[in-house]
Amino acid sequence: MTADSATGPTTYEDLLAAVSVPADPTGTTAREVRDPATGEVIGHAPVQTVDDLERDIAAARTAQPAWAARPDSERCDLLLKAADAVEAAAEPLAALLSREQGKPLNGPNARFEVGACQAWTRTAATTVLEPEVLVDDGETYATLSYKPIGVVGAIGPWNWPMMISVWQLAPSLRMGNTVVLKPSANTTLSVLALVHVLNQVLPEGVLTVIAGDRQVGRLIPTHPGIDKIMFTGSTATGKKIAEGAASTVKRLTLELGGNDAGIVLEDAFGTDTSDPEVVAANDKVAADIFWGAFINTGQTCAALKRLYVPDAIYDVVCESLTRVAGQMPMGVGLEEQNVLGPLQNRNQFDIVDDLVKKAVDSGARVLCGADPDYDAPGFFYPTTLIADIDPDNPLVTEEQFGPALPIIRYSTLDEALHEANRLNVGLGSSVWSSDRATAREVAERVEAGTVWINAHGAVDPRVPFGGIKASGYGLEFGVEGLKHVALPHVING
């Protein structure tokens, strides 16, 4: 289908019909998909095989030379039209995402994610990457440009299935690669729907999606027909992918687990809580901290997962965060008032529940939450704030990936920095202060790929993003992101 004929699905029912397959009681060709908020069956995702993967890789390899041969301006124009197609289908895409992943339509959730798909696609298409003259001294003339790698194997997570797929596929396509995309088994329909919309515009074979099982997932890193792997997920899985990719020396971009620290400085909150203006200002900062931690109900690699607060304002921060948390409704995603939803799957619910129980059993103080309804139909875990917790408690040292935030007290800035840096993760972090210059000085001492000032997780399609330590390697977004899905090509002479 050409861009001119692409109208996009107009309803949720149209979109679901395009990607759901007939039920299969044996589970061989189809897998039941349930809404994590209600337990209701919403459709059936295909279960594809290694033979399907071979077909998709062959199609990608066949399509790649012609795609790479198109002028850069033509590829960019098609990506812009693809973004327009996503915009035209935004509401049904958001509804399907909400029902499969669980995230509410509103807040920084489903509609936000579909909007991010448009923004990242458009930015990938409009970011300028010109050949660079390295040396021109009259004797040597050296230039650096970037060529396509070939076929990119993109393996995505279940927490931001559409958005992170776009983070992988849009720059890869821009640079002349073709893409074989494997979504998480937990959120297959959402990614199938996104690709269905994009492929109304893109040429055949340029972007394919394989809804495979674990066997398919294990084969992608070792397959000789894949030239680069982009993976977002756990550190444990990332290590296995790196091992598999080594056999064919594939290029890798790994965005792995994080346990992001936030450091609050003493000047970030006012202490005169008898003054309504001070309380309002405190609550504004607390709301920003809250969403840094609880975006997507805490199911975000670069969410704030441990908050370090100085003695002088500890009680004020705890009170303000508790007040803000009480104003955030949690419930079924399609109900417009809700901004927090369920955890996407039972396994993640159990992880969060276990970590919070360990914190409570250790004597930590519960400010709110920590009392889930185990008989509820969905995987809802209440918004939970835990104070007066030991820095070595598992809720602090392990990634909870859910709606529970430990608030750790500190006495000196050096102590806070030591605690923030001592774990073997380094995806994102944040510093909170009314003095930006001071905050930047502290940020220089934080070990993380990105340190935000007075925000957390505020990724920007123009600004490179990637982790250090066990949080992965490689960069995404902006000019550097384009370079990481291409091969450097130096001509010297």
Residues of the chain above pLDDT 70, percent? 98
Top-level CATH class of 3-256+471-492?
alpha beta
Kindly report the backbone phi and psi dihedral angles of residue 185, in degrees, each rounded to the nearest multiple of 5, phi listed first: -65, -20
37-59 pLDDT, tens digit each: 999 999 999 999 999 999 999 99
120-171 pLDDT, tens digit each: 999 999 999 999 999 999 999 999 999 999 999 999 999 999 999 999 999 9
What mean pLDDT comes out for the span 96-123? 98
* CA–CA distance, 296 with 292 (Å, rounded to integer): 10
What mean pLDDT comes out for the span 223-236? 97
The interaxial angle of helices 90-101 and 110-126, nearest 10 deg, is 120
The answer on pLDDT for 7 being more than 90 is no
Which are the catalytic amino acids?
255, 301
Nearest to 451 by CA among 254, 265, 261, 307: 261
275-293 pLDDT, tens digit each: 999 999 999 999 999 999 9
DSSP per-residue letters across 132-170: EEEEESSS-EEEEEEEE-SEEEEE--SSSHHHHHHHHHH
Query: Average model confidence (pLDDT) for the chain?
Result: 96
- The pTM of this model reads 0.95
At 247, the amino acid letter reads S
* Lowest-confidence segment of 7-11, 214-218, 308-312, 399-403 by average pLDDT: 7-11
404-434 pLDDT, tens digit each: 999 999 999 999 999 999 999 999 999 999 9
The answer on pLDDT for 351 being more than 50 is yes
pLDDT band, residue 9 (cuts 50/70/90): low
Domain ranges, ordered by start, for the chain? 3-256+471-492, 260-453
Top-level CATH class of 260-453?
alpha beta
CA atoms within 13 Å, Cβ hemisphere of 95: 13
